[in-house]
Amino acid sequence: MRIRLDIAYDGTHFRGWARQPELRTVQGTLEAALARIVGSDVQFVVAGRTDAGVHAAGQVAHVDLDEAQWSRIEARHGRAAHDPAGSIAGRMRGVLGAYPDVTVLRSSLAPTGFDARFSAVWRRYRYRLADEIAGFNPARRLDTTSIRAELDVEAMDAAAQSLIGLHDFAAYCKAREGATTIRTLLDYRWARDADGVLIAEVKADAFCHSMVRALVGACAAVGEQRLNVTDLVVLRDALERTSDFKVLAARGLTLTEVGYPAEELLAARAEQTRARRDSEASD
């Protein structure tokens, strides 16, 4: 029985999403909570693995429960007049305790063909950056990066939009052996919110390691007038990491949403994505 889980977390005290021996991770914490409920080990598949310190408001994962595990869920509430799959979220919240830094917002039976990772068609992130104009707000210190400069948000927005499209983003990714850096950047914009904080909205089919934090760091350099708009395209097309800008801190980054196609297209999308990733890995 495949279950979809919609998840939120404050990444400050986690060593990222992925389970690591003897380290506190989001995956490890959630799997341990669900294992207590179903009586045996489980393994989550996630839409996008976030790095240490990165937050999520709209993360998506799935877990496959075997017959014995599902029977324990059904036995708790009965097979009729209740939604056993939907009850999983509440039971996990109970295990996680009051005021946890990770929670399960919703749980549901996954549609046929659904794969949290491979069925996704896009991921959206938000980055919060406070400059000298916005000032420092201690109440937002865990989800906002501060920079000691006055930034030109119009120049940053123009630079961001110049990067949109299908490209090799090797210059904006931390290299991983066997992993492709070709991505489609669907949208990238900067604006100030009502408090003057600079907000980046970044959307792509997928992101490679450190890509969003590198993209916002590059635009911050444009905002400080250390680089200009065309420099970011030149650096991208050079396909090499550079020291011309800094990769900004994880604290400002939040995964806000994952997009999926209509239910009848989920299986085809997953198959297409797997085939493309296998092809790129073998090149």
Task: Give residue-wise pLDDT tens across range 38-73.
Answer: 999 999 999 999 999 999 999 999 999 999 999 999
Is the pLDDT assigned to residue 276 strictly greater than 80? Answer: no
Q: What is the pLDDT of residue 66?
A: 97
CA distances from 268 to 166, 172, 219, 283 (A): 21, 30, 36, 23
Given this model, what pLDDT does residue 106 score? 97
245 within 8 A of 90, measured Cβ to Cβ: no
Average pLDDT over residues 181-209: 96
- Residue 279 is predicted with a pLDDT of 62
* Summary mean pLDDT of the chain: 94
CB atoms within 10 A of CB 189: 14
Establish whether domains 2-109 and 123-258 are of one fold: yes
Q: What pLDDT digit, counting tens, does each position of 10-31 carry?
A: 999 999 999 999 999 999 999 9
The H or E element containing residue 94 is helix 84-96
Q: Where are the beta strands (DSSP E) in 32-181?
A: 44-46, 55-64, 102-109, 122-130, 145-146, 165-168
pLDDT-derived band at 81, boundaries 50, 70, 90? very low
Q: 123 and 204 in contact (C-beta within 8 Å)?
A: yes
Of 192-206, 219-233, 266-280, the one with minimum mean pLDDT is: 266-280
Considering the domain delimited by 2-109, tell me its CATH architecture: 2-Layer Sandwich (3.30)
pTM score: 0.94
Alpha-carbon distance 65 to 41, whole Å? Answer: 10
**pLDDT at residue 275, rounded to an integer:** 83
Residue 34: strand pairing partners: none
What is the percentage of the chain residues whose pLDDT exceeds 90?
Answer: 88
Residues marked active site are found at: 51
- Give me the architecture of the 123-258 domain, per CATH: 2-Layer Sandwich (3.30)
Domain ranges of the chain: 2-109, 123-258
